[in-house]
């Protein structure tokens, strides 16, 4: 709080040179600790002072951006700042980072996540190539690393995002601590929770969620903390707490770069509650209305499409789920996409195909941890192995149990087939009554030669009498065989049977 008292003293004496020095060293810290004092100082400073100190013309624009609906810094202020930086023979690191930070904010706001990720690379290289990165930059580096981490997260590079958020936290803890430490922790907690590392996420969350005042930078930074808490509640199967926290999600969060996480959490809650249709409509509307921000190659686009497929699977519309998962350009290395594809195969009674999906996905996934080692993936893989062979290896069972227990990912147990639940739940200390059963898995389907002939006849012939004639049976026998085939496939129509019967 020394910076607050120093600014108050300098402001009372109208010591503008001291204000400049304080802003240089502590502006972002002050913006979080006492935004009203910062506003008062910015309003008191003479306009000619800003002309002499162009860096703080940008500081003023940053402070005022918290009051705007989109949170963007005014373009005119950005242009003036850029012109000043380019006029310097040897611009300071903080100013070069400020230029790139403005570019990255604009790119994220427009949904240009790959471009934002490229700008993040530029910023990280500026820091790496600086001859010295001393404590004088400790005020700006936590925010810089958080911004880079968010760009990497949205572009789907989980590992780079995690590294940036961890570095933000490290810098925020230096020099006596920075108020940005809370937000660095909560951003890191969110990325852990999105990867089902719930125990790691919970260790970073300190206390209950507390709202910051409106029209402040702190208010704009708190969305990841709220959403991480929602995902943690869902991981503990506490849907009441999750829904209570989801009720705190306001229009500002929904419009932010993290708004899709609220939809993701809402989809999980809806699946557990057996109320999928509203979530289906909400996600579909968001994907259509914000196509630029949720392209299939982005993390948000992949996550929402995996959620949409899971919701369709929960209501039994497997064809809609498959269409969703066949979206061109979908980020197929995303663990949620791999898990949804494997679950789709299980729901169709194709456990061998589910195993192949999980194993094939590992070569496409850049991250070190395979999907089948993450909690939901481990449970789906164990379900598929048990369904395919009628037995479960000790290693597969222990992997699933340890992954759920280590990460406290009890929500992943909802992925288990009924047969796996009997073996898995006692190992993690959870009763079957606590775990929802949102998906109805078919037993392993293996068509007999005669059933395959019936399926081929249904595809070739238009009427049941033609089918009966082709198979040299009576029409009543044909009807009996068709009904039995439909039951086995879980189909309700000829078209659905033909689709479900495909190998």
Q: What is the pLDDT of residues 293-346, one digit of tens each?
A: 999 999 999 999 999 999 999 999 999 999 999 999 998 889 999 999 999 999
In terms of residue numbers, what domain contains 49?
2-228
**Claim to verify: residue 188 and residue 41 sit in the same structural domain:** yes
Is residue 276 included in any domain, yes or no?
Answer: no
State the CATH number of the domain containing residue 50. 1.25.40.10
Check: CB of residue 202 under 8 Å from CB of residue 232: yes
**Claim to verify: residue 479 and residue 437 sit in the same structural domain:** no
Is residue 360 included in any domain, yes or no?
Answer: yes
Tell me how far CA of residue 292 lies from CA of 113, 114, 295, 296, in angstroms: 9, 12, 6, 10
Task: List the one residue out of 346, 344, 26, 12 whose CA is nearest residue 175.
Answer: 26
pTM reported for the whole predicted model: 0.88
Q: In which element (H, E) is residue 149 found? A: helix 141-154
Domain endpoint, select from 228, 255, 287? 228
Rounded CA-CA distance 382/385 in Å is: 5
Is residue 323 included in any domain, yes or no?
Answer: no
Q: What is the 3-state secondary structure (H, E, C) of 15-40?
A: CHHHHHHHHHHHHHHHHHHCHHHHHH
Sign of CA dihedral 82, 83, 86, 88: negative
What secondary structure letter does DSSP report for 350? -
**Claim to verify: residue 425 and residue 492 sit in the same structural domain:** no
**Claim to verify: residue 473 and residue 375 sit in the same structural domain:** no
User: How would DSSP label each residue in 428-497?
Assistant: HT--GGGS-----PPPPP---HHHHHHHHHHHH-SSHHHHHHHHTS-HHHHHHHHHHHHHHHT-SSHHHH
Task: List the one residue out of 296, 107, 99, 261 whose CA is nearest residue 187.
Answer: 261
Determine phi and psi for 70, rounding to 5 degrees: -90, -10
Rounded CA-CA distance 375/447 in Å is: 32
**Claim to verify: residue 488 and residue 421 sit in the same structural domain:** no
Is residue 238 included in any domain, yes or no?
Answer: no
End-to-end, the C-alpha distance of the chain in Å comes to 67
Is residue 208 included in any domain, yes or no?
Answer: yes
User: How would DSSP label each residue in 40-79?
Assistant: HHHHHS-HHHHHH-HHHHHHHHHHHHTTSSS-PPPHHHHH
Going by C-beta distance under 8 Å and a sequence separation of 6 or more, which residues neighbour residue 7?
Answer: 19, 22, 26, 30, 34, 37, 38, 41
**Claim to verify: residue 460 and residue 437 sit in the same structural domain:** no
State the CATH number of the domain containing residue 458. 1.10.10.10
Rounded CA-CA distance 143/107 in Å is: 17
Domain endpoint, select from 398, 414, 443? 443
Tokens found for residue 216: 């402040």
Is residue 58 included in any domain, yes or no?
Answer: yes
Is residue 470 included in any domain, yes or no?
Answer: yes
**Claim to verify: residue 193 and residue 336 sit in the same structural domain:** no
**Claim to verify: residue 456 and residue 438 sit in the same structural domain:** no
Is residue 57 included in any domain, yes or no?
Answer: yes
Per residue of the chain (503 residues), give pLDDT as tens.
578 999 999 999 999 999 999 998 899 999 999 999 999 999 999 989 988 888 888 888 888 876 665 556 678 888 888 999 999 888 989 899 999 998 999 999 889 999 999 999 999 999 998 866 666 788 999 999 999 999 999 999 999 999 999 999 999 998 678 999 999 999 999 999 999 999 999 999 999 999 998 888 899 899 999 999 999 999 999 999 999 999 999 998 999 999 999 999 999 999 999 999 999 999 999 999 999 899 999 999 999 999 999 999 999 999 999 999 999 999 888 999 999 999 999 998 888 889 999 988 565 545 567 888 999 999 999 999 999 888 999 999 999 999 999 999 999 999 999 999 999 999 998 877 789 999 988 765 677 777 777 777 777 777 777 777 777 778 877 777 778 777 777 777 777 777 776 65
**Claim to verify: residue 189 and residue 69 sit in the same structural domain:** yes
**Claim to verify: residue 434 and residue 491 sit in the same structural domain:** no
Check: CB of residue 63 under 8 Å from CB of residue 50: no
**Claim to verify: residue 356 and residue 208 sit in the same structural domain:** no
**Structurally, how many domains does the chain consist of?**
3
Domain endpoint, select from 443, 463, 486? 443
Classify 213 as helix, strand or coil.
coil
**Claim to verify: residue 130 and residue 200 sit in the same structural domain:** yes
């Amino acid at each position: 709080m020394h910076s607050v008292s120093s600014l108050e003293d300098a402001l009372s004496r109208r010591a503008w040179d001291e204000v400049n020095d304080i802003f240089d060293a502590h502006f972002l810290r002050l913006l979080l600790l006492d935004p009203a004092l910062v506003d008062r100082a910015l309003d008191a400073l003479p306009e000619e002072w800003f002309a002499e100190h162009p860096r703080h013309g940008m500081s003023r624009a940053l402070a005022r951006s918290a009051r705007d609906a989109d949170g963007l810094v005014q373009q005119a202020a950005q242009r003036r700042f850029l012109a000043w930086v380019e006029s310097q023979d040897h611009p300071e690191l903080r100013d070069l980072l400020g230029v790139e930070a403005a570019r990255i904010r604009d790119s994220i706001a427009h949904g240009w996540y790959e471009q934002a990720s490229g700008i993040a690379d530029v910023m990280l290289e500026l820091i790496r190539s600086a001859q010295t990165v001393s404590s004088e930059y400790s005020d700006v580096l936590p925010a810089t690393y958080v911004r880079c981490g968010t760009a990497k997260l949205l572009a789907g590079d989980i590992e780079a995002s995690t590294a940036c958020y961890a570095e933000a936290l490290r810098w925020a803890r230096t020099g006596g601590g920075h108020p940005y430490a809370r937000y660095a922790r909560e951003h890191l907690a969110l990325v852990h929770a999105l990867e089902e590392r719930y125990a790691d996420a919970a260790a970073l969350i300190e206390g209950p969620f507390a709202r910051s005042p409106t029209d402040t930078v702190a208010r704009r930074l708190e969305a990841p903390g709220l959403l991480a808490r929602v995902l943690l509640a869902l991981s503990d199967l506490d849907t009441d707490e999750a829904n209570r926290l989801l009720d705190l999600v306001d229009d500002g969060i929904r419009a932010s770069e993290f708004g899709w996480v609220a939809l993701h959490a809402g989809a999980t809650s809806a699946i557990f509650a057996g109320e999928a249709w509203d979530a289906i409509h909400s996600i579909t509307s968001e994907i259509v209305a914000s196509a630029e921000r949720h392209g299939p190659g982005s993390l948000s686009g992949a996550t929402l499409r995996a959620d949409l497929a899971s919701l369709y699977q929960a209501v039994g519309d497997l064809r809609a789920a498959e269409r969703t998962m066949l979206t061109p350009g979908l980020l197929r290395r995303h663990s949620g996409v791999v898990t949804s594809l494997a679950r789709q195969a299980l729901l169709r009674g194709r456990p061998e195909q589910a195993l192949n999906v999980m194993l094939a996905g590992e070569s496409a996934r850049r991250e070190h941890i395979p999907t089948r080692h993450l909690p939901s993936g481990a449970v789906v893989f164990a379900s598929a192995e048990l369904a395919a062979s009628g037995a479960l290896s000790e290693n597969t069972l222990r992997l699933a149990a340890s992954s759920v227990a280590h990460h406290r990912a009890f929500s992943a147990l909802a992925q288990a087939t009924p047969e796996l639940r009997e073996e898995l739940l006692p190992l993690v200390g959870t009763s079957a009554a606590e775990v929802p059963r949102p998906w109805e898995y078919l037993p392993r389907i293996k068509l007999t030669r005669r059933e395959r002939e019936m399926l081929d006849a249904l595809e070739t012939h238009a009427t049941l009498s033609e089918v009966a004639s082709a198979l040299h049976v009576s029409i009543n026998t044909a009807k009996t065989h068709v009904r039995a085939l439909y039951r086995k496939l879980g189909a309700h129509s000829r078209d659905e049977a033909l689709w479900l019967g495909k190998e």
